Structure 1
């Protein structure tokens, strides 16, 4: 079952108060020790974040160039919340540069772990939901850690947003992520309450001045039914439907029904109910029927017949004695027991690889900068030698130098004449403008 964690709130006059809450993942899953060890390398320890940020920012302002390895080192070197805003700024600048495709994988995880560590989850979700501006994406491990934190703190709306991000990325390879996403969306849907309808204000006939704006073109309206979905409730339904569609056991079929219902795909819901009713081993949870009965009051008249048919089909099917929430919780526990050890070992290996990649990329960047400096120094030396040679052999090459100067002056004069000269015809007679006839 769920694991109990105890945390100390305060200690006053030898009186210690504790608060207890439940979590799914163990502390070992976060691999904090392995993560901190890869952040304590000499490369990161020697960084002064204030000076380092100023150097990166000045280099971007003057040359328009920003290095992904610099951003990665900055992200991994953060030790307090003060530098999170600077990290956000660097991520945005990197996203605008041509080097955005070379962003290191460790930068994603460092960003997410930093915001989680300092409790800036709202800001983290803003970054994750805007990949075009920041380019930060969840992997399966950070998704599990973030979902576990949000679910155990009863932040189900935020958890549903995170689950929707995983659905939009269409990554369903991790069983722990899938089960946590299902739990987050289920809890959000079951506890969802519709906002009150806005009051209808009677129109007062007033003369309104029309403002017309000239635009170049009009875009045809387009709705992709995926990235364009903004309603968290509908997103939760689609997430639940798509993830539950990957398995055909009893729990996932019931969750899939809830997903199609909330996603407003009533035809798919009816088709699934008809197909499941033919299966003798299928059992329906009471929560599914109750939810359909609740939502039928908010759908259009054309869709009510499909929902009524679905209810009549499911009421004839055998029901499960336990609750759906308990069954989802058991699925999460089973997935954790089965795959947690594998995920922990994968993270440790990944952290070691990231350390090696960071050192390799930094070495390549140092060599590249040294090569550029040497080339610049050679060019500067060649110019100095040419000037010195011109001074030493001036009298021997005086005629050639004079001819060169004269050619340059002539070319400049000819260019000026082309720009300023205008063809003038002395015989040109302007047309006579006559008054209009009445």
Structure 2
């Protein structure tokens, strides 16, 4: 056997072509063991998802009631990807009910982990982008795990979508989250899928369109808030990069902010930032930024070219960085992880225990509330039975009196009929008036 193996020659390219994907976050950061440990509680292990979903669905169909604690238990008990559609349906029903305001934080985190574990990240992002129908939001730890997953698999477009969601929430408290969002937006902006949208304005063709007039009660004034109403991912990525980079005033963030305002097409903010950066002695520009602005100049209208040319002239007069922008961003991510990783791990483990305790308390409250409602229903039923029994006993106790009252009423009726007959006999003596013939 060994002789035969020696005769076989393997091409070197195939041997050394194996690329191992490297993640930014370590396995310790994800706290998978602590997460599985809190999911092994008796409350979650006893749940049979098929029966539980049928009960919740029937309750919502008949009574229109679904509770946040039930959805939380379903989300945390999920072990099979076949029930992800049921989970999505329950989230939508919860969103339509008054209980949506009581949705637990553990529910959001469990949903993100489940969809990542079962490789359904694209469906998760679609849910995150539709908060009106599903109401799922990212916490810092879930966002970091999701961004790390997307960046590792080179899905920069989806990673930019997640970064834009963080920007829309305007929560920049976690350094790892901010660094990963910046890297995701940067990689998407310099990717092929974004270059055509970023470096070219949409062409407006004069096409004759047939006018269709529709009668409406009233017209709404057009309004664009330039935040939640943005649908263009390139604009969202640029705004995310600009806003997140504003939180720290260092050389890397200043360069990233320049890219952000450029892609966001806020040229007034862009030129003001370039002027301010040239006044900083320690500021150094990355060559990729000047090349990006020069590529943009060839595609913008004439009134905007002057602004971009001024930016190039400002940035060309400062020193250049010797290292690449991507390398600096990776180092920033590594530094942020080394700085806050241990604290984030401790906080996650505390949260898992807190969520488990909170789930038990909410479940006990719901059980007590249901028992109270059931007892009230039994009391009301008992009161109705006692009322009917009281009426029945009262009837038999007063049967003789009731019969006498009936007889008296019958006599009164007979008397009234007799009076009507006598009135008819008196009318027999009535003499009609004489009718005379009319004169001609």
Scaled by the length of structure 1, the TM-score of the pair is: 0.84
Once the two structures are superposed, residues 99-130 of structure 1 have per-residue CA deviations (whole angstroms, 9 ceiling, x without a partner) of 10000100000111111000111100110001
Which protein is bigger by CA-based radius of gyration?
A: 2
Q: Give how far 1:357 is off.
A: 0.2
The alpha-carbon distance between structure 1 residues 182 and 360, as it changes in their structure 2 partners (threshold 3 A), is same
Contact kept in structure 1, 2:201 and 2:299, CA below 8 Å: no
Q: Give how far 1:213 is off.
A: 2.6
Query: Which residue of structure 2 lines up, in the alignment, with residue 182 of structure 1?
Result: 182
Q: CA RMSD in A?
A: 2.2
Once the two structures are superposed, residues 202-258 of structure 1 have per-residue CA deviations (whole angstroms, 9 ceiling, x without a partner) of 9699xx6x6543222211110000001111111000000000011111000000000
1:68 pairs with 2:73? no
Deviates further, 157-166 or 185-194 = 185-194
List runs of 5+ in structure 1 lacking aligned partners: 1-14, 404-438
The alpha-carbon distance between structure 1 residues 384 and 350, as it changes in their structure 2 partners (threshold 3 A), is same
- Separation in 2 of the partners of 1:337 and 1:65? 46
Query: Which residue of structure 2 lines up, in the alignment, with residue 217 of structure 1?
Result: 218
Q: Give how far 1:391 is off.
A: 1.2
Aligned residue among 188, 193, 196 for 1:194: 196
Q: Give how far 1:21 is off.
A: 1.1
Query: 4+ residue runs of structure 1 moved beyond 4 angstroms?
Result: 195-205, 397-403
Higher helix share: 2
Query: Which residue of structure 1 lines up, in the alignment, with residue 349 of structure 2?
Result: 348
Query: Which residue of structure 2 lines up, in the alignment, with residue 293 of structure 1?
Result: 294
Contact kept in structure 1, 2:179 and 2:332, CA below 8 Å: yes
The alpha-carbon distance between structure 1 residues 23 and 392, as it changes in their structure 2 partners (threshold 3 A), is same
Once the two structures are superposed, residues 332-377 of structure 1 have per-residue CA deviations (whole angstroms, 9 ceiling, x without a partner) of 0000000000000000000000000000000000000001101100
Query: Which residue of structure 1 lines up, in the alignment, with residue 335 of structure 2?
Result: 334
Query: Which residue of structure 2 lines up, in the alignment, with residue 270 of structure 1?
Result: 271
Query: Which residue of structure 2 lines up, in the alignment, with residue 369 of structure 1?
Result: 370
1:168 pairs with 2:168? yes
Contact kept in structure 1, 2:163 and 2:237, CA below 8 Å: yes
- Separation in 1 of the partners of 2:404 and 2:151? 83
Q: Give how far 1:301 is off.
A: 1.6
- Separation in 2 of the partners of 1:369 and 1:148? 43
The alpha-carbon distance between structure 1 residues 400 and 334, as it changes in their structure 2 partners (threshold 3 A), is farther
- Separation in 1 of the partners of 2:206 and 2:351? 62
- Separation in 1 of the partners of 2:324 and 2:376? 72
The alpha-carbon distance between structure 1 residues 118 and 389, as it changes in their structure 2 partners (threshold 3 A), is same
List runs of 5+ in structure 2 lacking aligned partners: 1-14, 406-440
The alpha-carbon distance between structure 1 residues 19 and 325, as it changes in their structure 2 partners (threshold 3 A), is closer
Once the two structures are superposed, residues 263-295 of structure 1 have per-residue CA deviations (whole angstroms, 9 ceiling, x without a partner) of 111111111111111111111000110111111
